Amino acid sequence: MRLELAGKQFDGRPVLGPITLELAPAQRVALLGPSGAGKTTLMRIIAGLDTRFHGLRQVPERLAMVFQEPNLLPWRTALQNITLPTGTTPDAARALLAQVGLEGRDAAWPRQLSLGQQRRLALARAFAARPQILLMDEPFASLDADTAGRMLDLTARLLDDSGAGLVLVTHDPSEAAFLRAQPLRLRGTPATLDVGEPGALPPHPRDI
């Protein structure tokens, strides 16, 4: 993936300055920075949800996104929430449900699931799309510590198994460290990316 952003404005107000972000296959990065810095704006540009920017965007064919809100289809079962948007088979979807701790909940409606379970379902749906890069915008926010910890474990395992790359938006550097994502800080107005110390890149899981 390669993004060469010349800049991004909202109503004439510059929010993001020149930013170049390149991700090798399976590379993991975390976008950090204070509230309002432009993390979600940058993520939406990477995801292709915001095309009103100056610059160049090259992304692989399969991207999947996990938001803070699970964004499930309310009138579809847990299983259908995986199979319908991704085209994956019911058997593969059941296997993913089991991996995220929702074994046997195929027929549950989203409203019958807790927020933590809904988020795990959204995570299963994202991995069902067999993404080359997973985009996550504060996926562990507003969960209790236990549930957030379990989601982090699960995400780490699914990333290791799939070899997908990661762009994570978070306020919490420890989440980035846990997922072995290189911390990138958005600083200034308009914001640019500070890639930190050279050599700060954590080892790739396959190299450990």
Ligand X SMILES: Nc1ncnc2c1ncn2[C@@H]1O[C@H](COP(=O)(O)OP(=O)(O)OP(=O)(O)O)[C@@H](O)[C@H]1O
> Binding pattern to ligand X, positions 123-142, x when CB under 6 A?
--------------------
Using left for φ > 0, alpha for ψ between -120 and 50, and beta otherwise, residue 14 falls in: beta
Q: Smaller CB distance to ligand X: residue 35 or 174?
A: 35
Q: Please, which residues have CB within 8 angstroms of residue 122's CB and are 6 or more apart in sequence?
A: 66, 67, 70, 71, 72
Our CB check for ligand X shows the closer of 34 and 104 to be 34
Instruction: Decide: 23 and 168 in contact? Cβ < 8 Å.
Output: no
Judged by CB, which is closer to ligand X: 39, or 150?
39
170 is a contact residue toward ligand X (CB under 6 A): no
- What separation in angstroms does the CA of 208 have from each of 25, 70, 107, 180, 197? 17, 32, 39, 11, 21
In the block, which residue shows the tokens 């390669």?
A: 2
> What is the C-alpha separation between 108 and 52, in angstroms, rounded?
39
The smaller minimum CB distance to ligand X, of residues 35 and 58, is found at 35
Number of residues that bind ligand X (CB under 6 A): 10
Footprint of ligand X on residues 20-79 (CB under 6 A)?
A: 33, 35-41
For residues 2-31, which are near ligand X according to CB under 6 A? Answer: 10, 15
Binding region for ligand X (CB under 6 A)? 10, 15, 33, 35-41
